[in-house]
């Protein structure tokens, strides 16, 4: 075993345990002097007067590391933002001539990515622009004037298969000219958003349909489409996707949608009923009721959190 042997100076030599004990017995104050120094085996002792320099160096190193970590964090955040930007901006942007004025309508789904059983809705934004060659129509993003008050003149009809439902628009509190009609998609299928009513006293009836598969934000259609006597579509840019399967998005196990669960429970109840097992039928129906109640509670909690 080795021990530390120090003289009156600041250097440390490595010695045996016996030599170290003899040195301490011959000079009792030597131990206190050793304790007053920082000991690094095989190196010089660092006297107390070097603590300030060491502390400043450590502080500078910590600041440098924090700055580097902050920069890395900002870079990671930027990468994450741009990686999800296409999902967050999957909307269709159409330029219309309605009456004698020009409008840019942006239509899509809320809370993208659009997933079955997640709270979503119709996202509508309306700008009045200077003309078909103005800033609003040229790039599809729009620098026009937000059109407010449309919650009183427009509605939206949802269509999925043979099911339809009409919803009212709610205006945004933060973005003038933006409107939302919330709903929860329960089936993975094609959805149509039919927006109808009036804009600036002109009757409108426009249908926007989601796209299955990969959605292109840059796809552009400059062909003019006569919608009605008073409405002409001048340009279409981008599109919005149909809802993705909840099962495919589940992790670590696949997540069944409420529709799939209800279908499975119904099949179970039908099988028990056809087999003439009243008790099993009652049990299956009880389970179905419990599951449906839990799904309703989950939807209510999500809605409250959204508010």
φ/ψ of 146, rounded to 5, equals -60, 140
CATH of domain 90-238: 2.60.40.10
- CA–CA separation, 136 and 128 (whole Å): 8
d(CA 135, CA 214): 28
Q: How far apart are CA 294 and CA 298, in angstroms?
A: 6
Q: What is the pLDDT along the chain (307 residues), one digit of tens a residue?
A: 544 444 444 444 444 445 545 554 555 555 555 454 444 444 444 444 455 554 555 555 565 555 554 554 454 444 433 333 333 358 999 999 999 999 999 999 999 888 999 999 999 999 999 988 644 444 455 579 999 999 999 999 999 999 999 999 999 999 999 999 999 999 999 999 999 999 999 999 999 999 988 888 888 999 999 999 999 999 999 999 999 888 777 888 878 778 777 777 878 777 777 776 666 666 666 666 676 666 666 655 555 555 5
Question: What residues have CB less than 8 Å from 234, skipping those under 6 apart?
Answer: 95, 96, 97, 102, 132, 137, 222, 224
């Amino acid at each position: 075993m080795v021990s530390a042997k120090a003289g009156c100076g600041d250097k440390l030599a490595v010695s045996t345990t016996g030599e170290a004990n003899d040195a301490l017995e011959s000079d009792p104050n030597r131990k206190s002097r050793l304790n007053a120094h920082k000991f690094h085996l095989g190196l010089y002792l660092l006297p107390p007067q070097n603590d300030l320099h060491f502390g400043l160096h450590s502080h500078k190193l910590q600041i440098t590391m924090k700055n580097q970590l902050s920069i890395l964090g900002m870079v990671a955040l930027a990468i994450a933002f741009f990686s999800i930007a296409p999902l967050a901006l999957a909307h269709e942007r159409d330029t219309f001539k309605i009456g004698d004025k020009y409008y840019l309508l942006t239509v899509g789904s809320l809370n993208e990515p659009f997933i079955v059983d997640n709270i979503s809705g119709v996202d509508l934004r309306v700008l009045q622009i200077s003309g078909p060659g103005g800033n609003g129509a040229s790039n599809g993003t729009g620098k026009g004037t937000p059109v407010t008050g449309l919650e009183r003149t427009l509605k939206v009809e949802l269509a999925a298969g043979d099911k339809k439902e009409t919803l009212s628009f709610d205006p945004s509190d933060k973005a003038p000219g933006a409107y939302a009609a919330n709903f929860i998609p329960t089936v993975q299928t094609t959805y149509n958003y039919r927006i109808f009513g009036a804009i600036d006293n002109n009757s409108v009836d426009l249908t926007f349909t989601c796209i299955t598969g990969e959605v292109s934000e840059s796809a552009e259609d400059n062909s003019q489409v006569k919608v009605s006597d008073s409405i002409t579509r001048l340009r279409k840019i981008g599109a919005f996707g149909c809802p993705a399967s909840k099962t495919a998005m589940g992790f670590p196990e696949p997540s069944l949608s409420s529709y799939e669960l209800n279908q499975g429970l119904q099949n179970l109840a039908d099988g028990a009923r056809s087999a003439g097992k009243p008790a099993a039928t009652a049990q299956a129906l009880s389970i179905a009721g419990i599951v449906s109640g839990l799904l309703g509670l989950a939807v209510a909690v999500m809605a409250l959190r959204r508010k």
